[in-house]
Amino acid sequence: MPNNLHNLTIHEARRLLDRRAVSSVELTQAYLERVQTVDPRVRAYVTVTAQQALRQAREADVRIVRGDVSPLTGVPLHLKDNLCTKGVPTTCSSRMLEGFVPPYDATVVERLRSQGAVFLGKGNMDEFAMGSSTENSAFFPTHNPWDLERVPGGSSGGPAAAVAADEAVAALGSDTGGSIRQPAALCGIVGLKPTYGLVSRYGLVAFASSLDQIGPMTRDVTDCALLLNAVAGHDSRDSTSLPHPAPDYTRALTGDVRGLRVGVPKEYLGEGIDPDVEAAIRKAAQTLEAMGASVDWEVSLPSTKYALPCYYIIAPAECSANLARYDGVKYGYSYQGPGTMWEALERTRQEGFGPEVKRRIMLGTYALSAGYYDAYYLKALKVRTIITREFQEAFQRYDVLLTPTSPTVAFRLGEKTADPLQMYLSDVCTIPVNMAGLPGISLPCGLAHGLPVGLQIIGPALGDGTVLRVAHAYEQATEWHKMRAKA
Active site residues: 80, 155, 179
Asked if residue 25 lies in contact with residue 73, where contact means CB atoms within 8 angstroms, the answer is no
Identity of residue 28: T
Give Cα separations from 200 to 120, 254, 311 (angstroms).
22, 27, 22
One-character DSSP codes across 194-233: PPTTSB--TTBPPS-TTT-EEEEEESSHHHHHHHHHHHBS
Residue 457, strand partner residues: 402, 441
Please, what is the Cα angle at 402 between 398 and 408, to 5 degrees?
A: 160
Host H or E run for residue 41: helix 24-42
The Cα 471–Cα 399 span in angstroms is: 13
SS3 category, 117: coil
Identity of residue 36: Q
The Cα 2–Cα 168 span in angstroms is: 17
Nearest partner of 467 among 397, 395, 364, 369, judged by Cα: 395
- Nearby residues of 212 by Cβ (< 8 Å), 6 or more positions away: 129, 174, 175, 176, 201, 204, 206
Residue 122, strand partner residues: 47, 79
The Cα 375–Cα 372 span in angstroms is: 5
SS3 category, 121: strand
The Cα 74–Cα 52 span in angstroms is: 13
The Cα 409–Cα 483 span in angstroms is: 15
- Letter string b/e over residues 469-483, b meaning 16 or more CB atoms within 10 A of that residue's CB: bbbbbbbeebebbee
The Cα 75–Cα 9 span in angstroms is: 9
